[in-house]
């Protein structure tokens, strides 16, 4: 059985997009991260030091995304997964990135799943 630590509705402001006007302003993205993590040790010992620090993951994600500029959310998603694997001892990530203002009448985005 897989344990999942999730961080949903993480809103970040970043420069993202292919159009010239998108290179000049920050836009909102909404990220949902589902992180496979073995919760058995922290649960058995009731020990925070054994748990995944989801606050650190959220803070790192926000800082990483806000400090960079990409044309495609696909590129942002791929790069973010790579650095999260390097920074945290996680096994798998399911990352959803929504670009809420991309279309007037719909919410669009991507979902990627990566394993170590």
* Residues designated catalytic: 99
Of the candidates 92, 3, 90, which has an alpha carbon nearest to the alpha carbon of residue 44? 3
User: Distance between CA atoms of 71 and 1, rounded to whole angstroms?
Assistant: 37
User: Distance between CA atoms of 26 and 114, rounded to whole angstroms?
Assistant: 27
Which residues lie across from 27 on neighbouring strands?
Answer: 14
Which residues lie across from 113 on neighbouring strands?
Answer: 94
Contact between residue 7 and residue 32 where contact means Cβ atoms under 8 Å apart: yes
Pairing status of strand 106-115 against strand 27-36: unpaired
């Amino acid at each position: 059985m897989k344990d999942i630590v999730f961080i949903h509705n993480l809103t970040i402001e970043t420069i993202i997009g292919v159009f010239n006007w998108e290179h000049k302003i920050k836009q909102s993205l909404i990220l949902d991260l589902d992180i496979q993590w073995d919760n058995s040790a922290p649960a058995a010992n009731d020990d925070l030091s054994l748990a995944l620090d989801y606050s650190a993951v959220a803070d790192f994600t926000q800082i990483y995304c806000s400090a960079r500029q990409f044309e495609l959310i696909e590129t942002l998603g791929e790069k973010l997964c790579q650095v999260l694997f390097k920074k945290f001892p996680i096994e798998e990530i399911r990352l959803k990135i929504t670009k809420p203002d991309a279309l007037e009448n719909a919410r669009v985005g991507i979902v990627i799943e990566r394993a170590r």
